[in-house]
Amino acid sequence: MPIPASQPLPPSADSAEDRTGEAVIDRLVEANQRYAADFTDPGMDARPVRKVAVVSCMDARIDLHAALGLELGDCHTIRNAGGVVTDDIIRSLTISQRALGTRSVVLIHHTGCGLLSLTEDFRHDLAAEVGQRPTWAVEAFKDLDEDVRQSMQRVRTSPFLLHTDDVRGFVFDVKTGLLREIVPEV
């Protein structure tokens, strides 16, 4: 069932503290202070060691580094709602490839994605609520595999990207942690 733009998600157990966002952000800043106290410059370059960019959904259940066996500095991680290849993803991939040397692209969607239950009505409801039409599309989808294929095609046909031959797409299962590769249409 689609979630209307004005309908908040169900509150979490400690939502009273987090409703304004202030308490949770304060905790993040405090955690950063502890992190920085023991931080030493790893001496890394901004260029990913493995020359790969990973595009994935922003879903909080996906720990990309752990799921893919990556370490700090191995890849560029680019995330958005759905892991959909949008103009901004192409922008980030173009910078990743042309300025920072990546050559491979991994695209990851996942089971249980919120975009499976949204439609463009979300965008229209939002426009009605706030009085301004969003400049972006929701990019919702009904078929995970088909949307991964579409995202692979968008990367492979972008005139801005230098390296479009090593592009692979997957669906991450949030219940098992396994990736399932999606074969592109030929």
At 121-144, the pLDDT tens digits run 999 999 999 999 999 999 999 999
Q: Distance (Å, rounded) from C-alpha 180 to C-alpha 123?
A: 30
At 17-31, the pLDDT tens digits run 555 667 999 999 999
Look at the block and give the residue holding tokens 């998600």. 9
Q: What is the pLDDT of residue 1?
A: 42
User: Is the pLDDT reported for residue 78 higher than 90?
Assistant: yes
Q: Residue 53: name the closest of 86, 24, 76 by CA.
A: 76
Q: What is the pLDDT of residue 16?
A: 40
Say if residue 31 is exposed, middle or buried (CB neighbours under 10 Å; 0-12, 13-18, 19+): exposed
Residue 54 near residue 167, CB atoms below 8 Å: no
At 160-171, the pLDDT tens digits run 999 999 999 999
Q: Distance (Å, rounded) from C-alpha 173 to C-alpha 180?
A: 8
Q: Name the DSSP letter for residue 75.
A: E
- Model confidence band, residue 15 (pLDDT cutoffs 50, 70, 90): low
Look at the block and give the residue holding tokens 């009904």. 142
In this structure, is the dihedral angle defined by the CA atoms of residues 15, 81, 31 and 25, taken in order, positive or negative?
negative
